[in-house]
Amino acid sequence: MNNGQENRIFAVWLYDSSMTESKALILGCSGLALTPDEKAFYRENRPWGFILFGRNIGDAAQITDLIASMRDCVGWNAPVLIDQEGGRVQRIKPPTLQAYPSAQVLGDIYRQDREKGLRAAWLMSRLHAFDLTRFGFTMDCLPVLDVPIEGASNVIGNRAYGHDPAMVTEMGKAASEGLKAGGMLSCMKHMPGHGRGMADSHHELPVVSASREELEAHDFAPFRALKDEVCGMSCHVVFSAYDAENPATTSETVIREVIRGHIGFDGLLISDDSSMNALKGTLGERARAIAASGIDIVLHCNGVMEEMKAVVAEVNPLTGKTAERAERALASIRPADGASEEALRAEFNALLPTA
């Protein structure tokens, strides 16, 4: 990539005053291109950002066009997110992009050779940045800082680097730095920790009964170590030691005492998907509870129009501390480091175990 290309990519993310007219909301869409109804809805309701899933992914030109059309609707270079982790959570797959390994595979490299493992984590994220900035993405929802325990739900599983909080912290930091080196935002997830959940929060509500001491030493530790990151995503998990009724995403107590308090995170806090079945109530009730908890940005992913209408009715404009955090996040993006993609890709592939 030449300097002119780097400067153009960087210029995309410069703060735009149009952001102040946005709602504290990230939305998905239904397919490969925006429908007329979606365009009208986004123009009227102005979400702060957008997120793409597998149903939205075709070839390279289609992805680029879809992202551009989303931004056209809101009139500024709004953030566009994706979950491009590797392994089973890779929204853009071959042949459009290389197949990347799971975090567990990178963790296996670390367990054999710490320095090689950290380098592999950095390299994979740096390659994600090469891949994703070409399409116009702003943020990759990485790193996964959850630390699973024995018997936990497989919803995290091999998406985690391992079972040791110190190792997960190191690998997560390397992954985040790789994205930043490539001119992208990272978003650590799932705060304050999904690793102990015995249920898949896409389908039901996990309840964790561990003590505060256990949670602070194990589950919360990687997030506390990376508290200065500018973006994080919540989890739909009940931590009974703090709030026996509400999952973290809708718990004012967990947001205040754990995420903002014990962990010390003052970055932009995005909810996990409000359409996941761990949350109770209508979509409007869920959005209202998320906004009331202290979460900055409500996320709704599935692109179902009736659900989006219910959510948007409960979400306020981007103001106050949330607006400051959002502006700080976008302002943190720096030009890519000018590294050679060919050289880094060859180095990364050489580190991977052969099947």
What positions carry a catalytic annotation? 202, 272
- C-alpha to C-alpha distance for 38 and 57, rounded to whole angstroms: 17
Two structure tokens written together for 63: 């992805």
CB atoms within 10 A of CB 267: 22
Q: Which stretches of 282-342 are assigned E, i.e. beta strand?
A: 298-300
Helix or strand or coil: residue 183? coil
Paired residues of 317 in beta bridges: 23
Two structure tokens written together for 233: 């995503």
Q: Is 152 left (phi over 0), alpha (psi -120 to 50) or beta?
A: beta
- Picking from 84, 199, 101, the residue whose alpha carbon sits closest to that of residue 142 is 84
CB atoms within 10 A of CB 309: 13
Give φ, ψ of 144 to 5 degrees.
-80, 115
CA distances from 202 to 79, 153, 174, 198, 305 (A): 24, 11, 28, 12, 20
Helix or strand or coil: residue 138? coil
Q: Which helix (H) or strand (E) holds 286?
A: helix 283-293
The radius of gyration computed from the CA coordinates of the chain, to the nearest angstrom, equals: 19
- C-alpha to C-alpha distance for 32 and 230, rounded to whole angstroms: 30
Two structure tokens written together for 284: 């409007």
CA distances from 172 to 160, 161, 196 (A): 10, 8, 18
User: For residue 126, how far is the Cα from the chain centroid?
Assistant: 16
- C-alpha to C-alpha distance for 190 and 148, rounded to whole angstroms: 12
Helix or strand or coil: residue 99? coil
